[in-house]
Amino acid sequence: MPRRPSNPRLANIEDWRDGADADPGFVTALARGLEILRAFGRDDRYLGNGELAKRTGIPKSTVSRLTQTLTALGYLRYVDQLERYQLGPGVLALGYRYLAGNGVRDIAHPHMQALADSTDCSVALGAGDRSEMVYVDVCQGRGPLILRLDVGARIPMPVTSMGRAYLAGLTEADREAAFTRLKSHYGDDWPGLRKGLEEALKFYADHGYCMSEGDWNRDVASAGIPISLEGGAHVLAFNCGGSSLRLTRRVIERSIGPRLLELVRLVEHDLAGAPTGAPAGTPGFRPRDLGS
């Protein structure tokens, strides 16, 4: 079994520079190489050494050596005509191995799709990554949706139902570490965000799920719920969202929230190898029930 970091700070490192001071076993060169790969955003197809140095804070001469190494290993691809780099197939292989190794994704998918179809909403499964949530699976309903996000999409943690649910599912110690990381990331905006998170945690304690009513996108409302794996060592979160005109608070509390609770119950039973004895979702629920 992999050992836990000798210094607990390493479990929640936000910046590779912090790691060098946190533990003597921290390999700065490796951290820098991974930061190069992280520097590529969703809309970045090509980046040069100068832009990579600017984004990561790593000296350009060091970036040049790192990009050469990453290219040789297949994690980057150099485009001669542009004198820039793009992500290579090695990164894609790692991503697919993560998804394949995370058994909950395959087990949850049919239940997620059933919920998406019956509510005409978008249903997603996400993992926490620093100050954001990353979609690892998405199922779309047939109805009109405000946002159609794909696998790999990133959304802010403190203002989305998925992010709030993820934080609610953490242990108290891990949650405080996450709050410290978010405080560093958001700066002056943190006090207001923390207040909203504390309200979300109270709502979760009473209802078992979290909500976001236009907090991230004013046209979108959603509910989110965590799922705890490996005895709490790994936390993921589901969300179910759509147009705020359809998903009023009353609809979420009477329909979407309970459906998410049922979704987690079904997934947990399947993960444990126990027969569910029921289809994914509440029998008799139809899209038009959202307006009841």
3-state helix, strand, coil in the chain (%, to 5): 50, 20, 30
Residue carrying structure tokens 């949650």: 175
CATH 1.10.10.10 fits 8-90, yes or no: yes
d(CA 89, CA 274): 38
> Strand, helix or coil at 15?
coil
How many Cα neighbours within 13 Å face the side chain of 230? 9
CATH topology of domain 102-291: Beta-Lactamase (3.30.450)
Residue 35 CA to residue 21 CA, distance in Å, equals: 17
- What pLDDT sits at residue 127? 92
Per-residue pLDDT of the chain (292 residues; tens, 9 = 90+): 333 343 333 344 455 566 555 567 888 899 999 999 989 987 788 999 999 999 999 999 999 999 999 999 999 999 999 999 999 988 877 776 666 656 789 999 999 999 999 999 999 999 998 899 999 999 998 766 667 788 888 999 999 999 999 999 999 999 999 999 999 999 999 999 999 999 999 999 999 999 999 999 999 999 999 999 877 788 999 999 999 999 999 999 999 999 999 999 999 999 888 444 444 443 333 333 444 3
Q: What is the pLDDT of residue 203?
A: 98
Domain boundaries, the chain: 8-90, 102-291
**Can you give the pLDDT at residue 11?**
42
Distance CA 66, CA 64 (A): 5
pTM of the model: 0.76
> Which pLDDT belongs to residue 291?
45
Tokens of 234: 């790994």
Q: Identify the pLDDT of residue 62.
A: 95
**8-90 and 102-291: identical CATH topology:** no
pLDDT attached to residue 20: 56
**DSSP-based three-state secondary structure for 126:** strand
For 100, phi and psi rounded to 5 degrees?
Answer: -70, -35
C-beta separation of 87 from 118 below 8 A: no
